[in-house]
Structure 1
């Protein structure tokens, strides 16, 4: 299939041939959901901790005798049903949130997302993308001329000028081809990819 190649003014200049296996897939919602969920889960860090019955600082003495008081029987103050007692199933820093996704499934999921972007006319290809100086205004002006606002830019390599120019633009994200993640691909309204990055993604996801 063919993707349109645009110039710095956002006008269609030519077309570039891409494989149907990567940009012509049917949208598999269940697979995409699994890939996105796994990506978000694998990014989580287990940094929360709660105290169990053995961790709280409470006496192990029986609060009152078993019978004759008219109150419910109680064993110790660290009971989970008591205020200040330990948690029944406490969260631990050793928790593992990771989800396993096979490599073939991940590549198919990314291919489904890219194919959907093409169908919705949200993906454009440019020969190369750079700025002459690390100026936010210069990058914002260039994107405005191309008719792009909220955009994820995928390049084969990121230079310092481009990196520093994009840091203060909250609706612009610049990544290398190997770091294009499924969440960002779905979140941004537009995706702009350089021709070199396109070739690199074809190699990575083949």
Structure 2
């Protein structure tokens, strides 16, 4: 597919051919939701903590005798039902980190990028050459492109002047193309990507997966690759029949 390329003034300057796999993928909401939950969970510190009745200071003495007081029996003033007592089943430090398969993570990025293109929320710009590190230069570009809300600026590699210029602008975030994730793409209303970054997206996010250390060519079937591997290593040896274990019964002593 092709994307319209604009310059810093908002004028159309041409088109760029991009990968259909990256920018025209079908939306998979369940996959994107799973990637979002895992990403947000990995950002959690997990340092929440409460004290149980064994950890709260005090409460070693029985507040009153067991019987003949007319009140309920109590063993400690730090029991969970007491004020300033321990917390029963409270949160304790834990890790919320989860892993997601690489193919699922990459497909989630492709789904969100494609949805941004379909909704008209992705703008392809030729370059950021006029950005000199000053905030007003970046503000002028956003104004010319009609970007008023939050935006994610995607570049082929980290641009020091661009990062410095967008640092003081609210709701503007910059990322290189190889560090994209579904969370940052969904949290911004508009995606502003450079022409070179859009061309590199096919190399980074449309890379053919590897199997067993070997890279599959386009259109190559994994079954064919397995058969080629068998032919290279030689014919498969026929398995030997398993030998049965014979057990001899002990003879009775005469």
TM-score (norm 2): 0.74
Cα offsets for 1:150-173 (capped at 9, x unmatched)? 321100123322121111100321
Whole-angstrom distance in 2 between the partners of 1:200 and 1:193: 11
Report SS of the residue matched to 1:79: coil
1:182 corresponds in structure 2 to: 182
1:2 corresponds in structure 2 to: 2
CA contact (8 A) 1:153 1:193 kept: yes
1:137 corresponds in structure 2 to: 136
Unaligned runs of 5+ in 1: none
- 1:39-118 to structure 2, matched below 5 A, reads 39-93=39-93, 95-118=94-117
TM-score (norm 1): 0.90
Cα offsets for 1:169-201 (capped at 9, x unmatched)? 003211111222322211222111112322333
CA contact (8 A) 1:131 1:161 kept: no
Aligned length: 205
CA contact (8 A) 1:129 1:155 kept: no
Whole-angstrom distance in 2 between the partners of 1:205 and 1:92: 38
Q: How far has the Cα of 1:123 moved from its partner?
A: 0.7
Q: How far has the Cα of 1:143 moved from its partner?
A: 1.9
Q: 1:174 to 1:131 in 2, by over 3 A?
A: farther
Unaligned runs of 5+ in 2: 207-254
Q: How far has the Cα of 1:79 moved from its partner?
A: 0.9
Whole-angstrom distance in 1 between the partners of 2:158 and 2:107: 26
Q: How far has the Cα of 1:48 moved from its partner?
A: 2.4
**Residues 192-201 or 170-179, more deviating:** 192-201
RMSD over equivalenced CA pairs, Å: 1.8
Larger Rg, first or second structure (1 or 2): 2
CA contact (8 A) 1:132 1:161 kept: yes
Answering whether residue 147 of structure 2 is matched by residue 148 of structure 1, we say yes
Cα offsets for 1:28-69 (capped at 9, x unmatched)? 111111111111111111232221122100132222222222
- 1:149-164 to structure 2, matched below 5 A, reads 149-150=148-149, 151-164=151-164
CA contact (8 A) 2:22 2:201 kept: no
**Residues 195-204 or 105-114, more deviating:** 195-204
Whole-angstrom distance in 2 between the partners of 1:49 and 1:76: 22
Q: How far has the Cα of 1:132 moved from its partner?
A: 4.4
CA contact (8 A) 2:7 2:127 kept: no
Q: How far has the Cα of 1:127 moved from its partner?
A: 2.5
Q: How far has the Cα of 1:136 moved from its partner?
A: 0.7
